[in-house]
Amino acid sequence: DEFLSSPPRKTVRFGGALAEILLKYEKGETTDFELLKHQLSDPDIKDAQIINWLHEFRASVAYLTKELEQLVSLLLKLPWLRRSREVVEEYLGFLGNLVSAQTVHLRPCLRMIVSQFVPPRITIREDDVDISDSDDDDENLSENFNTCHRALQTVARYVPSTPQFLMPILVENFPFINKSERTLECYVHNLLRVTVYLPTLRLQILELIIEKLLKLDVSTPQQDIEDAEETANNSDSEEKSTEEGLFDMEEDEERKGNKVVSSSSERMAHPLAERLDILMTILFSYIKDVCHVDGKLDINNTKDLYRDLVSVFDKLILPTHASCHVQYFMFYICSFKLGLAEAFLDHLWKKLNDPNNPSVIRQTAGSYIGSFLARAKFIPVVTVKACLDLLVNWMHKYIDNQDTGANAYCDVALHGPFYSTCQAVFYTLIFRHKQLLDGNLRKGLSYLQSLNFERIVMCQLNPLKICIPSVVNLFAAITRKYQLVFCYTIIERNNRQFIPVVRSGTGGDLVQTCTNPLDSFFPFDPYMLKRSKKTIDPFYQFWEELSAEDLENLKKPIKRGTSEDEDDDFLKGETPQNDGVVGIAPNSYESNTRSPVSSIGSPPDCYGPYPQ
C-alpha cells in the first residue's frame, strides 16, 4: 500500500546513456541500439543489470513511443517476477511510468501481467521427448500472483480506462478446459481477485467464468460421472485384492497419514468433473468471502453480488439445458438469507408468468421453482405454501381460460408452461407433504384440499399424461392416502391410450424415442462433485426412501388381481409382473416407476417413452 501511494523514485537525472542510444537510433545509428536489445534479451542477465537499465528507462519513457514497441516488448519479457525484491519494486515503478507517459503500450503491459496468472510452463524431458507442463511446485507462486495484482492495480491507478482494455485480454487468455487442473484453478482464482479492486468488471468476469464452467458441466453428464466413479471403485477394489498378501500395506498407510488418503478419495474419477469440482469450490469460496465481512453477513455486499449472479443466471444458465452443477451458485447464495431465496423464487415466477417469454424459458423456470422448493432446506413451510398458492391459482386460471376452448386438449407444445407448473407443484408436494401436514393434521389437510387438485387432475389438459411418470405415481400415492384426489382411473386410461413413438434405428430396429420436452430435468438433483458438495449438503434436502411403514400406509386397499395391482408392487419396491400386457403397450408402472437403481437421494427417474 505504501508503494502504491508514493510516487515513483527518480534515481537518475534525465539524459543518461540510454537517452543517447535512443537519440542515435532516431538518427539511424543502430549499433548501440542492437547491443542494448541483445543485453536485455540475455537469459543470464543479473539483477543489478536489470535495476540499472530500469532506472534509466524510467527516466526516458518519453522516448518509448510506438516506433520503439519492439524494445518495449523486450522490457516486458524481462524475467522480473522471480527476482529480488529490489528488481520487483523497480519494475513496478517502471510500469507505472511507462503506461502514464505512453498509453499506446497499455495493452502489451496488460497482456504481460495476465500471462502471469497461471503457473509458468516448464519443459520436462522424458524418453528423449520434451513435455511442456505447468510448474506446480513453484514455492513462490502465491507471492508472484500477489505481485501481479499489485502491478495491475498500479497500471489501473495511472490509466483509468484500464478495465475496458483488460476484459478482452482476460477472455483471450482463459486456458482451454483440457489444460491442467492447476492452471485452470490459478487463472480462475486470479480473475476473481481482479473483481475485488476493479469492481466494474465483476459482472463480466463472473459471466466469463460461469460460461466456461457451463461448458465443462454439459460435457460431463451425470451418467458419465457415475460410470467413471464406478469403474474407478471397481479397479481400486481389484488392486487391493491383488495386493493383499503381497505387501503389508498398514505401515505405508500410517506413514502417509490420513491427509493423503482423504485427498485421493476426494478426487473425481472423470477428468473434466475433477476440473469442474475444483473450480466450483473456488466459486463457492468467493461467494462466501464477498458476502461475509469478519465472519458476519454483509447485507449490502450480498445484495450486490446476488444481482450480478441473477443476471448471469438469466443470460447463461436458464437457456442451457441439462447442466447439473453450475446452477448451484444460486442455491448457495440464497442459503445466506431467506429474503434472497424469496427474491429468487419471485424472479423465477415472473419468468414463468410472462407470456412474452419463450415457452422453453417459462418451462425451465417452472422446473427451477419446483426443484428449489423441494430441495432447499432453508425455505420454510410458510414460503412453500405461499408459492404453492401462487402456482396453483395460476393453474386454475389457466384451466378457466383454456379448458373449454379450441385448444382444450393434451398437447405439450401448446401448454408447455402449464405442464411444467403442474410438475413443479406435484414434485414440491412429494417432498414437502409431511411438513405441510406436520403439527396440525386437520389444518394441513384443509389447506391441501383448498388447492383443489381434483380439478387440475381431471381437466381436459390432462397433466398426468404429460408429467414424468415417477412424479405422477408418487403424487397419486400421496393424494390417495390423504383422500385429496384419486388419480389411478386417469392413469389407467392414459396407459390404455398410450402408443409409443418409434423410429427406425441404424440397424433397422425400431427405437423408442423420448420427445417430451418436460424430460426428467430437475435442476437441483443431487450434487455429485465430491469437494464442492460439502458446501451444498448442509442446505440440501435429500430424498428419503420410503420406509416399510410408509409403504404400508400408502398401500392401496384393493384386492389382488385388479387392473391397478402394479401400483402396490411399485410402492413395495418390487418389479411388477403382468404377463397379460407384455407386447401390447408398455404400462407406465412397469417401464417407469421401478425403484431407483443409482440415483440415491432422488425420486426414481424415468427414461421410458412418453405419451404424445
pLDDT-derived band at 585 (thresholds 50, 70, 90) equals very low
Bridge partner list, 296? 293
- Which of 78-82, 376-380, 412-416, 474-478 shows the lowest mean pLDDT across its residues? 412-416
pLDDT at position 552 is 62
pLDDT at position 512 is 43
In degrees and rounded to multiples of 5, residue 121 shows phi and psi of -85, 135
Whether residue 367 has pLDDT greater than 60:
yes
Three-state secondary-structure class, residue 313? helix
Note the pTM of the prediction, 2 decimals.
0.80
Three-state secondary-structure class, residue 127? coil
Mean pLDDT of 583-589: 31
Q: State the cell numbers at 529.
A: 462433485
In the block, cell 393424494 appears at 479
Query: Distance between CA atoms of 347 and 352, rounded to whole angstroms?
Result: 9
pLDDT at position 373 is 96
- Which of 168-172, 239-243, 499-503 shows the lowest mean pLDDT across its residues? 499-503
Task: List, for residues 126-136, the tens digit of each pLDDT value.
Answer: 555 555 555 55
Mean pLDDT of 573-579: 34
> 519: phi > 0 → left, psi -120 to 50 → alpha, else beta; which?
left
Query: Distance between CA atoms of 444 and 191, rounded to whole angstroms?
Result: 50
Q: Say how many CA atoms lie within 13 Å of 42 toward its Cβ.
A: 13
Higher pLDDT, 381 or 489: 381
Query: Which of 534, 544, 81 is CA-nearest to residue 266?
Result: 534
pLDDT at position 131 is 55
Distances (CA, A) of 116 to 111, 137, 151, 158, 391: 9, 15, 11, 20, 51
Whether residue 203 has pLDDT greater than 90:
yes
Task: List, for residues 157-186, the tens digit of each pLDDT value.
Answer: 999 999 999 999 999 999 998 888 999 999
Query: Distance between CA atoms of 387 and 486, rounded to whole angstroms?
Result: 24
pLDDT at position 60 is 86
End-to-end CA distance of the chain: 67
Contact 597, 588 (CB under 8 A): no
pLDDT-derived band at 556 (thresholds 50, 70, 90) equals very low
Q: State the cell numbers at 397.
A: 386460471
Contacts from 381-387 at CB under 8 Å and sequence distance 24+?
Answer: 381/432, 381/435, 381/436, 381/438, 383/338, 383/341, 383/342, 383/345, 384/428, 384/432, 384/435, 384/436, 385/436, 385/447, 387/345, 387/349, 387/428
Longest dimension (CA), the chain: 107
Residue 504 is classified by DSSP as E
Contacts (Cβ under 8 Å, ≥6 apart) of 181: 274, 275, 278
Whether residue 278 has pLDDT greater than 90:
yes
Q: At what angle do helices 31-41 and 17-26 cross, to 10 degrees?
A: 120
Query: Distance between CA atoms of 104 and 98, rounded to whole angstroms?
Result: 9
Whether residue 110 has pLDDT greater than 90:
yes
In degrees and rounded to multiples of 5, residue 72 shows phi and psi of -60, -40
Higher pLDDT, 385 or 552: 385
